[in-house]
Structure 1
Amino acid sequence: MTDVYTQAQLTHTTGNPHGHTAATRVLSRSDFDQAISEITQWPGYAATPLVSLDDLASDLGVGAILYKHEGPRFGLGSFKALGGAYAALRVLQREIARRRGTDVALADIRAGKYADDCSQITLCSATDGNHGRSLAWGCQTFGAPCRIYIHAEVSKGREVAMQDLGADVVRIAGDYDESVALARSEAEANGWFVVSDTSWPGYSEPPRDVMAGYGVMTQEACDAMDQAPTHVFLQGGVGGLAASVAARLRQVWGDDTPRVVIVEPELAACLFDSAKAGKATNFSIHQETIMAGLSCGEPSEMAWEILAEESSDFVTIPDSIVAPTVRMLARPTGAAKIVEAGESAVAGLAALIAACKSDLKTTLGLDAGSRVLLIGSEGITDPEIYAEIMEGTKHG
């Protein structure tokens, strides 16, 4: 295990943290507070664990590693349950209010008061799996039709999971970004409502609601800590998770907010390239990464607005260190807690381990006093892929 991390080639570029106004301007305190108030009332809500990886921290020479394990979230297996379903509810609220010409309470939609209205409002999105599963669950819960677009590399298991929640799933031959484009065009043609976790010019409310929903996870982590972490390693994708976590950490901890390190697959490094260019920049994906949820070539402009002000470092990692990290969490030594994590969940942890075995440890300011927060964004969202990783037959 040590050799694969020591041999891993990580690429690093510095960010330009400044201003720190986007953390309250793009996502306000009230955006987060409203989402937290609503989601914590949903049936089945429970805070997910913040797991302390003490033995690993000692081995790596850092003070603490805290892993927020999102696998148990609402029985859906990932943090996405917080975003897609909440954004769906907010889209329904706005559209029903528009049609009826009166204010509509989220609690009344949740209670079924507007069931007939919801049944006539189709919600759709593109997904690598977890966001679509959350949206499908939200639509099933609130009684709205759901149409999900997936790309060629999305696993059959993730497709079936969305179908089992009542979604009409459309698979295309292209990649994720092409599925996003198709969802947008067909929604416009049919009068459907896109519920996306990425923003574009003229489209910002649902992505803002998605990121506000993720604030539940960050607030839980903050509530479980007695002091601010010194570092947070956040996986990339379109940037929604990272921007949401960074913004809420800034709101909670102020000047004591942790150093933000963005981690991406080297095969899908749109945020890394954005940092180098100093503006939101697309990345051309030529090969799919094992980290399916992070295979995104086009950053969310709204997310980038926050990350540009909050992120100190951007790191890319090879796929070679992902499966070993999944297995390490599932087969810990000593009395450490077993954590069943999906491949996209471990990007931050894999980067941390490899960084601590290289000169990057000093570059990132990691030492015996460091307290590192990680977001374990998913559990076993595809049992077949997880089994292949555990058996050592899937490497990337």
Structure 2
Amino acid sequence: MLIANPNARREPYPDDLLDIMSMQKAAESRAWLAHWQHLNHQGTPLYSLPGLAAQLGVGHVWVKDESARSVLGSFKALGAPIALVRLILRTFPARGYDAPGLLAGKYATSLADFTVISATDGNHGRALAAAAQSIGCRCMIVLHAKVSTEREEGIAAYGAEIIRISGNYDESVEHAAALAASNQWRVVSDTSYDGYEEIPRDVMQGYGTMAAEIIEASSEWHGSGCAFTHVFLQGGVGGLAAGIASYFWEQYGEQRPVLIVVEPEQADCLYQSALSGKAANATGSVDSLMAGLACGETSTLAWKFLRSSVDFFMTVQDQDAVDAMCKLATGSPQDIPVVAGESAVAGLAGLTQIMSTPGLASKTGINRQSKVLLISTEGATAPNVYAELVGETATSVLARQKEWLAAV
């Protein structure tokens, strides 16, 4: 399903949103992240996929590959450490902490009793656990029933203490908030709710690093204007989409590209928000293979940005995601094979659906001249699940990727 957003606007980036998130703050976050050992400081590749573009019937397709961002395997490595650093700096202003020193563990002894907690579907929790371990503070992670043991082990490997509940993601968020209140811990969540927006804002601000890298890379062959006509963004609670959309909006103003947000049909909170014009809840079971996007409640903070910047909201089925994973993994003589996890491929699943439905292609203005950007937000963060779905291990795909690069 696809809906045109009636509230989308073409105008300069509003001052009220600039006060919340800006390219300037994103640049500061990016500079701080340069001091964190868990990140690839050369940034992540932006691949051109001409074979896929021809197959779909568009002019160009580019994929930003966030699997190469970090050993943590996803874009979440950009948000959690920034949010944790900014929280500590605000909490202890008199202690003279600095961001690079925090990320290097310089103040670990004095922060040993400081405890943070968060609910997660996997990637945010893993990134927060790694950041807390680097800084030297304690980290508690709440996991709901659908989070795999494989993902749990990946989080625990970074020293986090795991708390399991029997409910879904939204219930795990509530449980984390209750534990924080009763134990005087601090919630570091990537979703906002009433009275809780400062930390989710910091998480989203960290995602601006992706947008900055994309614009820098594309400017080398395109110049100062926007290189893309259409940008597909994952849904979830809306944090990633808001972080990228706000950056493109501030950079290009009324000349920003068409922005399309994609989410699972059973976790359609952003689609429902577009229908109602305000932050809303999903209507489905919120039980999706796309674990990182299986969210039932829209982030109220993220919606402040998405309400006016996103042109279309759409939903896809789980099988669409599996097909997209396989398509990227296969590659071609023209296209590099890419390891993309279940939540990473929502954009490609959406683009494929649009281009196979003439009415949708016309509605969104995507044609043979279109220049489309996709963001592959994670690699095989659950390697066994990836191998089962794709029919090939991530290690095997990466070996073919290495061969492809050597041949070009």
TM-score w.r.t. the length of structure 1 is 0.92
Q: Distance in 2 between matches of 1:259 and 1:287?
A: 27
Q: Is the 8 A contact 1:23 1:246 kept in 2?
A: no
Structure 1 residue 318: deviation in Å? 1.3
Q: Distance in 2 between matches of 1:167 and 1:206?
A: 19
Q: Secondary structure at the match of 1:154?
A: coil
Counterpart for residue 34 of structure 2: 40
Are 1:234 and 2:233 matched, yes or no? yes
Counterpart for residue 396 of structure 2: none
Counterpart for residue 270 of structure 2: 271
User: Aligned letter for 1:24?
Assistant: L
Q: Distance in 1 between matches of 2:83 and 2:286?
A: 31
RMSD: 1.5
User: Aligned letter for 1:300?
Assistant: S
Q: Secondary structure at the match of 2:51?
A: helix
Q: Which of 147, 151, 156 lines up with 1:158 in the alignment?
A: 151
Counterpart for residue 68 of structure 1: 64
User: Aligned letter for 1:12?
Assistant: I
User: Aligned letter for 1:28?
Assistant: S
Q: Could you give the per-residue CA deviations for residues 10-39 of structure 1, whole angstroms, max 9, x where no partner exists?
A: 343434213642552331233212111111
Are 1:243 and 2:239 matched, yes or no? no
Q: Distance in 1 between matches of 2:243 and 2:29?
A: 12
Are 1:349 and 2:348 matched, yes or no? yes
In the TM superposition, 1:372-387 aligns within 5 A as 372-387=372-387
Q: Secondary structure at the match of 1:202?
A: coil
Between 195-204 and 122-131, report the one with greater CA deviation.
Answer: 195-204
Q: Could you give the per-residue CA deviations for residues 45-96 of structure 1, whole angstroms, max 9, x where no partner exists?
A: 2300111111111222211111111001121110000001221122122222
In the TM superposition, 1:329-340 aligns within 5 A as 329-340=328-339
Q: Could you give the per-residue CA deviations for residues 262-310 of structure 1, whole angstroms, max 9, x where no partner exists?
A: 1111010000000000100112442511100000011111100000010
Q: Distance in 2 between matches of 1:202 and 1:113?
A: 32
Q: Secondary structure at the match of 1:153?
A: coil
Q: Could you give the per-residue CA deviations for residues 126-171 of structure 1, whole angstroms, max 9, x where no partner exists?
A: 0000000000000011111100001100011100000011000111
Q: Distance in 2 between matches of 1:288 and 1:72?
A: 27
Counterpart for residue 366 of structure 1: 366
Q: Which of 186, 192, 201 lines up with 2:194 in the alignment?
A: 201
Q: Which of 8, 15, 27 lines up with 1:17 in the alignment?
A: 8
Q: Distance in 2 between matches of 1:111 and 1:154?
A: 30
Q: Could you give the per-residue CA deviations for residues 341-391 of structure 1, whole angstroms, max 9, x where no partner exists?
A: 001000001110111111211111001221111111000100110011012
Q: Is the 8 A contact 1:13 1:272 kept in 2?
A: no
Q: Distance in 2 between matches of 1:196 and 1:110?
A: 19
Counterpart for residue 402 of structure 2: none
Taking a change above 3 Å as real, the CA distance of residues 138 and 324 of structure 1, as seen in their structure-2 partners, is: same
Matched-pair identity in %: 42
Counterpart for residue 293 of structure 2: 294
Between 130-139 and 334-343, report the one with greater CA deviation.
Answer: 334-343
Q: Distance in 1 between matches of 2:345 and 2:106?
A: 41
In the TM superposition, 1:71-150 aligns within 5 A as 71-97=67-93, 101=94, 103-150=96-143
Q: Is the 8 A contact 2:260 2:310 kept in 1?
A: yes
Counterpart for residue 389 of structure 2: 389
Taking a change above 3 Å as real, the CA distance of residues 95 and 25 of structure 1, as seen in their structure-2 partners, is: closer
Counterpart for residue 6 of structure 1: none
Q: Which of 46, 51, 72 lines up with 2:47 in the alignment?
A: 51
Q: Secondary structure at the match of 1:224?
A: helix
Counterpart for residue 328 of structure 1: 327
Q: Distance in 2 between matches of 1:102 and 1:154?
A: 38
Q: Distance in 1 between matches of 2:329 and 2:248?
A: 28
Runs of 4+ in 1 over 6 A off after TM superposition: none
Q: Which of 213, 225, 231 lines up with 1:220 in the alignment?
A: 213
User: Aligned letter for 2:190?
Assistant: D
Q: Distance in 2 between matches of 1:52 and 1:206?
A: 34
Structure 1 residue 209: deviation in Å? 0.8
User: Aligned letter for 1:326?
Assistant: M
Q: Could you give the per-residue CA deviations for residues 179-237 of structure 1, whole angstroms, max 9, x where no partner exists?
A: 00000010011010100111122211211110111111111111111341111111100
Q: Distance in 1 between matches of 2:284 and 2:79?
A: 25
TM-score w.r.t. the length of structure 2 is 0.90
Q: Is the 8 A contact 1:65 1:373 kept in 2?
A: yes
